[in-house]
Amino acid sequence: MPPLAERDVFAPAAPGTMLLGLIGSGIAGSRSPAMHVAEAAAQGFALEYRRIDLDVLGLGVEALPQLLDHAQAAGYRGLNITYPAKQAVIPLLDALSDEARALGAVNTVVFEAGRRMGHNTDASGFAAGFRLQLPGAAMGQVVQIGAGGAGAAVAHAVLSMGAAQLTIFDMDDTRAAGLAANLNAHFGPGRAVAGPALGPAIAAAHGLVHATPMGMAKHPGLPLPAALLRADLWVAEVVYVPIDTALLQAARAQGARVADGGGMAVYQAADAFRHFTGREPDAPRMRQGFLAAISHPGLT
Ligand code: NAD
């Protein structure tokens, strides 16, 4: 096995080709490489996007310092960062955007004149997808199920978009309480609460955000009893494989307005593309390509 610096992922790119990568675990199915490459091609410049998969390399987060050093030395323009490295990368950076600092998580690193700048586009990506798919949605009382990595970003987005109060549920009560405490420290006391009872909270809510893995092939089913859904409760989903989850189907069957998880997936990439390239992405074009790719996964 060659030393880490000599692995294929750290080979120089062809001259004139912008080099990007994704560091994470279990990222073989990520749509980010295809989205960035297709958008660059549509804008007429060459971009290569590599998966730096911790599982494939047989490494853990303790290897992050070397991975960033080697990527920077190899001429990478930047990196997306995903599970399990979004927090661990922070001490390795020179500066953080306000949003990344507030979230305590980084999903985009840009190498600029020898410095490493950390951004977070998960919350802004969720917000952009939400506004597109649920324009004018009432933001008074919102319930969120799921307080993990994605949940922290979308909760931040929901309060930033003006929700008066967010009630958070998680099968792990301490996670819900911890996220509520972090949000209150940032947005002010009382803006977030860890919910004691789901039924009454949903009965009083304008909208529901779902941020657990329920609905994916490995976690089939609904994250709540279908009887709690109703026509005047909008539902925003983070799961995007499948794009039309059982929850979205059940909500639509009640006549509710819904937003799929593809919005966050596409707009976090579009916002990262802007940071990496300094160019304005055509986000609707990226969404079109994304939807085509996930409905025909074998073709890309
Ligand atoms: P995570 O493991 O960090 O968090 C999931 C949380 O859900 C955990 O706190 C867990 O206790 C809780 N949970 C699980 N099942 C539950 C249930 N039935 N009821 C209540 N709580 C439950 O995972 P994550 O990184 O936050 O990812 C969650 C989902 O979001 C995944 O399906 C992932 O694919 C999706 N995701 C989507 C995007 C996007 O761009 N759309 C981005 C990131 C993650």
CATH no. for residue 21? Answer: 3.40.50.10860
Q: Which residues are within 8 A (CB) of 282 and not within 5 positions of it... i.e. 6 or more apart?
A: 39, 42, 43
CA–CA gap between residue 296 and residue 62 (Å, rounded): 36
State pTM to two decimals.
Answer: 0.94
Same structural domain, 93 and 200? no
Same structural domain, 143 and 245? yes
For the residues of 238-291, what is the DSSP string, one character each? Answer: ---SSSS-HHHHHHHHTT--EE-THHHHHHHHHHHHHHHHSS---HHHHHHHHH
Element (H, E) at 169: strand 165-169
Q: Specify the pLDDT at position 272.
A: 98
Ligand 1 atom closest to residue 146's alpha carbon, by position in its atom list: 7
* Mean pLDDT along residues 95-107: 95
* 255 occurs within a structural domain: yes
* Mean pLDDT along residues 41-45: 98
Same structural domain, 135 and 256? yes
CA of 115 to the centre of ligand 1 (A): 32
120, 154, 174 - which closes a domain: 120
Same structural domain, 158 and 223? yes
Q: Which residues form ligand 1's pocket by a CB distance below 6 Å?
A: 83, 145-151, 169-172, 175, 211-214, 216, 223, 238-240, 261, 264-265, 268
Q: Residue 229 pLDDT > 60, yes or no?
A: yes
Residue 15 structure tokens? 């001259």
| pLDDT tens digits, one per residue of 125-179 | 999 999 999 999 999 999 999 999 999 999 999 999 999 999 999 999 999 999 9
Same structural domain, 161 and 258? yes
* Mean of the per-residue pLDDT values of the chain: 96
Same structural domain, 133 and 248? yes
Q: Residue 299 pLDDT > 60, yes or no?
A: no
Instruction: Name the domain count of the chain.
Output: 2
300 confidence band (pLDDT: 50, 70, 90): very low
* Mean pLDDT along residues 279-288: 96
Same structural domain, 22 and 80? yes
- The secondary structure of residue 10, as a DSSP letter, is G
Domain residue limits at 103:
4-120
Collapsing DSSP to helix, strand or coil, 8 comes out as: helix
86 is catalytic: yes
* 300 occurs within a structural domain: no
Q: Specify the pLDDT at position 296.
A: 65
Same structural domain, 81 and 203? no
Measured between alpha carbons, how far is residue 189 from residues 79, 207, 271 in Å?
A: 35, 21, 30
* 221 occurs within a structural domain: yes
Catalytic residue among 77, 86, 210, 287: 86
